[in-house]
Structure 1
Amino acid sequence: MAVCNGSGVSTQTFQGVIPAVYHNYHRSCVILLFSSQDGILGYDVKSVVMTTTLTLQEKDVQVTSIPVQQFGKLQEIGVCPRKPPLLVVLSADNATRTFLKEMSTTGKLHRPSWFLLLPDVTPLEEFFADIYVPFNCKFLVARSFRDHVTLTEVYRVDQDSSLIISPFGHWSAATGLTWCRCSLYNRRKQLNGHNIRAAVVHEPPFTDVREKDDGILYVGGYFGLVWGLLETRINFTTTWRKPSDGSWGMFENDSWSVVGKDSLNKTQRHGSWNGMIGMIQRQEVEVAINEFSMTSLRLNVVDFTIPLLATK
């Protein structure tokens, strides 16, 4: 969760809204992030971090703090191992925007939950102009208006699409936190005609792949029918592609090497994926539609949906 500075925000607001969002997100801990180059709402950085930390600890919340410039070191330590953390960013300067931009380019922005308290005078489109908040990222923006805070959710369908801004809830000292209780799917079930690149191989009755006269692939069968229903339901289109080797995906040229010295030796696995799994790993497609066996090796490089059918 990320919190950035906004005009007229009191320390009481910080101490009230942050624990409320934390408990509703069910995160394992809170990490307070701030820029070492900027103050917070005109207050002393150390003072705000200290008072916010004490408030969270009194509520039995595991909390730590670190400048955004040193966040990489915190990742190496492995804070919050049980669940992704709630990141609270207490600054909104150029260093903070650079940090968020770098996080988005590495593809790691979606892992934690974010809560951003932005200055009222800063347009959302301007602040997120070059920051890619992915479709599956929980990123809240909060703005303070006197004695209450409005909450807005932001994301993009893909990296090149416009920023989607959706009202989410509000908080005040008098009423507490009120926000949308709907699931992430119900909040993100409109893809606005986005085109998805999908890999497929011919395997009736699960996938029936046929090529039209213009070279465009048509996919029927059980999975093709399910995918077509999803296209209609959440408004997207599909460009189908077949792997050149016609395979599902196997790990090739498998080998091991030793990394380290003496008692600290570690083994490292080398190789490459072929088939549809390889197409996903190389980002040639976003998804593969077929009957797949879920293995620990494949789970290292792709995500699986919940099973749609069971076979023996």
Structure 2
Amino acid sequence: MNVLKVLSVLILSLKPALCFRNDIRVQILTMVDVIRSYERPSAILANVCYDISDIKILAKELMQVNGAKTFQLVENFSSIEKFKGDGMVILLDLDCLNSGKILEDASQNGKFQNPYRWLLFSSELEWEAIMKSFENLSILIDSDVTVAYNMKSNGTILQKVYRIDSNSKIIPEKFATWSVEDGLSIETEAKRPILMRRTNLQGKKIGISLVTIDNTTTKTDIFILKDLVKDNLAKSSFHNVLPLYAFLNASSEIMFSNTWGYYINNTWNGMIGQISRGEADLCGTVTFMSERRSTVISYLTQPIKIQAKFIFREPPLSLQNNLFYLPFRTTVWISCGALMVLIFVVIYVNAKWEAMKLKVDNNDPSILKPDVSDVAILVVGAVVQQSSYSVLQGSRGRLVIFLLFLICLFLYTAYSANIVALLQSSSDQIRTLSDLLESKLELGVEDQPYTRHYFTTATEPVRKAIYESKVARTGYKPNFMPVEEGVKKLQNLDAPFAFHMNTGLGYRLIEENFLDHEKCGLREIQYVQSGVPWLCCRKQSPFKELYKIGLARILEHGISDRVNRLIYTRKPSCNSRSGSFGSVNMTDFHPVLLCLLYGIITSLLLLVIEILVYKRNNENKMQQKNDVDDRASEASLH
């Protein structure tokens, strides 16, 4: 391979028509080898001071590189700015007069950042002069700028350059050397990923913004994790990020905010506002993803696998249903009703037959008369396990009555057993937000800035209805409360309650305060649609990819898992339901009381009707008697 390169140089030097100077020959071969070492460059833009024949040779050689699809000559920065896409390589001849202007424009427009890759070369300038030309350029840590100088046939030096921030010095990295004999020789260290070579930020201060709700929280509180309830999100997030500073050899500059940050009056407030203004570079508290926030921040990772949800204990079954309908299915109820009607008909026919065929005393109250009301009372009495004074006299009739009472006994036993079981059962019918809205549960929300924002700005019909009819009812104070108060109300099953809170912290309090049987039947319903919260950084942060690498390592090494287990708790397991037996309350048997009340009202109405009918009949009888007396008097006078 080396012999071929030497021969190619000799052959090119023997072609006087090409006017191919030795330094240009070296430049072209060097650039081709460097670009070949890149991973599939898609487009190559070049600003070179070559004549047309040299440019043709350059284009021909570059287009033979695997992956190269486009070669374009550019004269100024505006020509470069038209091209967009990954894998772009920009060749710039520092010996050209307009190279300084192109570099300044690229710096001002952020074109040294990923995904742009620059290959700068010069045969005339010394290294010190090249470094001096970079003094005011924003070639930051996420840039990929390679400088080739001292471009001679016996050895070209290539170095990558970057600076930690706009005020720091340019840091050179030895990348490779090139010669006609050996070609491109890349340094062993340079073969590592470019960002992994730049993890030493030399103690740079990186601002981090934390959301703290309690005004008494200090930097010391954030570090020592003494009170895990107070500002737990800020503490858990910061301790997930803290190892990142050691990974980058950077120092933290902590600042506080009292809210996450929302777009109000054309500006961002809170933590997002500090990030967007450049006061901080890193979010110290996880935040929910939103489309509007993505315009000023970049989301990095999800170190805290907790969510904000409604948590509630399964309410008693009687709160959602009438228990006295549930023991039998609808088909069983219909079958039982049809059976009672059939038995009623059979008993009535037997009573009618006995009255016609048997000589019975009609004045004997113990004999069942062929009357609809008497037979109905007998059947109803059997259903409710009450005996009857009147019975049939024949053997067939008595057999029918015996079967009636036996069937009702079995039905009553099955019904009673089911009622006892249902009285101790809980309902699993609340599974969605719509179910929650229609349920009889009282709702409460953890008092946090983000919960107030998401609940008050909800536009989706069900979520909006939940806030307006359950959380902030007209004429009442909105039901926002501290997490401790909400968990305490959640424990009382006599007043069923659903509480929207940070599940990690909420389950920790439940684990500490609930009895074993009270941890059973815990349900979750998600209200906030954003899901698991994210760590974030400034949108144009040069450290963004370094943050992602560092945070990924923190996750891989189990540090995040350890922090989360120190602060949060997973959903408690249900180990025993033995202590869950509860007394029957008014909610359980209020249908029976309603039935009794309706019965009393009906009986009183019937009593009133009977009294009115009785009085009317008496009046009619008196009127008829008076009429008879009057007619008799008139007859005696005549």
Considering only CA atoms, is the larger Rg found in Structure 1 or Structure 2? 2
- Structure 1 residues 281, 49: CA separation in 2 closer, same or farther (over 3 Å shift)? farther
- Give CA-to-partner distance per residue, 1:254-282, whole Å, 9 cap, x none: xxxxxxxxxxxxxxxxx433322222222
Residue matched to 1:161? 168
Measured in 2, the distance between the counterparts of 1:73 and 1:145 equals 30
2:153–2:179 contact (8 Å) kept in structure 1 = no
Residue matched to 1:224? 238
1:247 aligned residue (247, 259, 262): 259
Give unmatched runs, 5+ long, in structure 1.
Answer: 1-7, 35-39, 254-270
Measured in 2, the distance between the counterparts of 1:155 and 1:219 equals 37
Letter in 2 for 1:277: I
**Residue pairs, 1:1-312, within 5 angstroms:** 10-26=23-39, 27-34=41-48, 40=49, 44-59=50-65, 61-69=68-76, 71-76=77-82, 79-81=83-85, 83-93=86-96, 95-111=98-114, 112-118=116-122, 119-123=124-128, 124-143=130-149, 144-179=151-186, 180-202=190-212, 210-211=218-219, 221-243=235-257, 246-253=258-265, 271-312=266-307
- Structure 1 residue 136: Cα displacement: 0.8
- Structure 1 residues 222, 203: CA separation in 2 closer, same or farther (over 3 Å shift)? farther
Letter in 2 for 1:166: E
1:199–1:285 contact (8 Å) kept in structure 2 = yes
C-alpha RMSD of matched pairs (Å): 3.0
Structure with the largest fraction of helix: 2
Measured in 1, the distance between the counterparts of 2:158 and 2:96 equals 20
- Structure 1 residues 145, 73: CA separation in 2 closer, same or farther (over 3 Å shift)? closer
- Secondary structure class of the residue paired with 1:284: coil
- Structure 1 residues 9, 198: CA separation in 2 closer, same or farther (over 3 Å shift)? farther
TM-score by length of 1: 0.74
Structure with the largest fraction of strand: 1
TM-score by length of 2: 0.38
- Give CA-to-partner distance per residue, 1:120-177, whole Å, 9 cap, x none: 5241431212222111111111122433322211111111111111212223344333
Deviates more, 1:12-21 or 1:274-283: 12-21
Letter in 2 for 1:157: I
Measured in 2, the distance between the counterparts of 1:211 and 1:133 equals 34
- Structure 1 residues 21, 277: CA separation in 2 closer, same or farther (over 3 Å shift)? farther
Residue matched to 1:258? none
1:199–1:279 contact (8 Å) kept in structure 2 = yes
Letter in 2 for 1:291: V
Measured in 2, the distance between the counterparts of 1:113 and 1:130 equals 19
Give unmatched runs, 5+ long, in structure 2.
Answer: 1-20, 226-234, 308-638
- Give CA-to-partner distance per residue, 1:41-95, whole Å, 9 cap, x none: xxx44333322112122335223334442x314423xx353x1411111243453
Total equivalences in the alignment: 268
- Structure 1 residue 238: Cα displacement: 1.6
Letter in 2 for 1:161: S
Measured in 2, the distance between the counterparts of 1:50 and 1:177 equals 23
